[in-house]
Amino acid sequence: MFSGSLVALITPFGQDGSVDGKAFAEFVEWQIAEGTEGLIPVGTTGESPTLSHDEHKQVVETCVKVARGRVPVIAGTGSNSTAEAIDLTRHAKQAGADAALVVTPYYNKPTQEGLFLHYAAIASAVDIPIVIYNIPGRSVVDMSVETMARLAGAHRNIVGVKDATANLARPLHTTIACGDAFCQLSGEDHTALAFRAAGGHGCISVTANIAPRLCRQMQDAWAAGRIADAQAIQLRLTPIHEAMFCETSPGPVKHAASLLGRSSAACRLPMAPVTAATAERVRAAMRGAGLLT
C-alpha cells in the first residue's frame, strides 16, 4: 500500500520552453533525499495537458530511472480518451513504474457507467496497480463511492484513490464500501491530517514540492501518534497551502520552486506567469514557514 508523504511532481522547463530533464532528475533526487515516500510524475501539477506524448513518456522514464526502486513511482497516465489512457498506462508499466494514477475523464462528462467502463478497459488492458484520481474541480465529473467500489470489486489492480474532493466524509464511506485494503490518499494539502483521521493513508501533495521534509515529518508524527506535533507542522504549512493555490496551480508552486533554485518558474501556455502580488504572497508564506530567510 502507498502511504505517508507523496509528491505530485512539477515538470521543470528550460528557457526555451523544453522539458529540462537534468533539472527534473535533480529534483527527483532531492525529493528522495528529503524523505518523500512516493513520486507522481506528469499529473496535473506536472502540466501533463501541455506535454507531448514523447515528453510525457520521457518524464516517466526519467523518474523511474532516478528513483531506482528506492520509493514507488505512480505515473500519471490519465486522459479523456480511453485509448490514449491505455497507451500511456502501458508505457508506464514498460518503463517500470510501480502504479498508474488515472484521472477521471475531463471535458467529456461521462456518466457513472462511462466512468466504470473507462477504468475497466484500462485495468483489463494493463496489469499494473491503478489509483483512481477523483478531482471534480478539474474534471467536472465526480466518481461516486458506489462506482469506485464496483471497480475495486471487479478488478484486483484497481487499488486506491487520490481523493481531491476535500469531502472528509468521503474516506469513511469509501472504507466501508471498498475495504481497509483500498488505498486512500488525499489530493488536497489542507486536509492531509483530517484525511488520515477519517481513515486515509497519506497525501499526494503539491506543497511537498517545496517542503518535502516538513510534509514527511508531519506524516511520520501522525503515524507515530504524536498528534500535537503533526498538527503544529500542519499549522506551519497552512499559509503555504493557501499560497500554492492563490492562482491556478502549478503557477505558484513553480514560482516557489524557482525561489529555492530547484526549477525555473516557467509554465507552458495557457498557464500565465504569476502576478507580482502572487509572487510576493508565495515568498511571504515561504519565509513564514522557514523555507526562505
First CA to last CA across the chain, in angstroms? Answer: 37
Q: Which of 57, 65, 106, 162 is catalytic?
A: 162
Length of the chain equals 293
The two counts, helices (H) then strands (E), for the chain are: 12, 8
Q: Fill in the DSSP letter of residue 47.
A: T
Q: Which residues contact 19 (CB under 8 A, 6 or more apart)?
A: 11, 12, 13, 51, 55, 58, 59
Please give the Cα distance from 88 to 97 (Å, whole number).
11
Q: Active site includes 133? A: yes
Q: Fill in the DSSP letter of residue 269.
A: T
Please give the Cα distance from 161 to 129 (Å, whole number).
11
Q: Is 68 left (phi over 0), alpha (psi -120 to 50) or beta?
A: left
Please give the Cα distance from 117 to 110 (Å, whole number).
10
Examine residue 49 and say whether the peptide bond preceding it is cis (omega within 30 degrees of 0): no
Q: Which of 57, 119, 133, 254 is catalytic?
A: 133
Q: Active site includes 162? A: yes
Residues identified as active-site: 133, 162
